[in-house]
Amino acid sequence: MKNKITIIKTQDLSEKFQIKINKNSNYLYVYKKQIRSFKKFLKDPMQKNIIKILFIVISEKNSAKLLADIISLYLTRNKKKHNYLLFLIKKVTTNLISTNFSSIKGIKIIITGRFNGAPRAKSKNLTIGIIPLQSLNAKIDYYNSTAFTQNGTFGVKVWICEK
């Protein structure tokens, strides 16, 4: 067998986001204003990464996979702060969807599993904005992911409705 070389091209979303913000001064002003409003969440590095990824998810199209994977990663790393994750996502996305650099209308997230190590599994729904799941002409990006933890598995489903 011959040695085959595989070249994988990846896209740096944070760099692409920074270029988009720096091109338009109005976007930069709104971005800095939003960052100041989330100042208390920026102390923890994991929360800082989640906020940065939420900025990317709001501004880029076809980003449901990114959001589902980061939620499942957070659920596997943190054993007891599951409800805090939902609070953080809801607070950040409600502020970001109304900004002018947002390219989405709404986000729907469903997480099922044993939250905070509870004996029974629960389902948490988080809907922000408009998600027309029955409409055929709406552009919906969907992805589901699974987080494997010591308490069992979490199922994460993400729907993003784009403008």
Provide the residue ranges of all domains of the chain, joining segments of one domain with +.
14-162
Instruction: Return the CATH class of domain 14-162.
Output: alpha beta
At 23-34, the pLDDT tens digits run 777 777 777 888
Tell me how crowded residue 121 is: count the other CB atoms within 10 A of its CB. Answer: 14
pLDDT for res 126: 92
pLDDT bracket for residue 62 (50, 70, 90) = confident
At 97-122, the pLDDT tens digits run 888 778 889 999 999 999 888 889 99
Question: What is the Cα–Cα distance from 70 to 72, expressed in whole angstroms?
Answer: 5
**pLDDT over 70 for what percent of the chain?**
91
DSSP SS3 for 113? strand
Question: What is the Cα–Cα distance from 99 to 114, expressed in whole angstroms?
Answer: 34
Once rounded to an integer, what is the mean pLDDT over residues 7-11?
56
Q: Which token pair is 90?
A: 């809801």
Does pTM surpass 0.85? Answer: no
Question: What is the Cα–Cα distance from 101 to 68, expressed in whole angstroms?
Answer: 21
Once rounded to an integer, what is the mean pLDDT over residues 132-159?
90
Give the list of residues 6+ apart from residue 2 with CB closer than 8 angstroms, or none.
Answer: none
pLDDT for res 56: 85
Examine the pLDDT at 162 and tell me if it is beyond 80.
yes
At 75-102, the pLDDT tens digits run 888 877 888 888 889 998 998 888 877 8
What does the mean pLDDT of the chain come to? Answer: 84
**Closest Cα to residue 110, out of 58, 156, 144, 146?**
156
Buried/exposed 149-163: b ≥16 CB within 10 Å, e otherwise: bebebbbbbbbbbbe
Q: What is the dihedral of CA 87, 88, 92, 97, to 10 degrees?
A: -50
Cβ contact 73:66 at 8 Å: no
pLDDT bracket for residue 47 (50, 70, 90) = confident
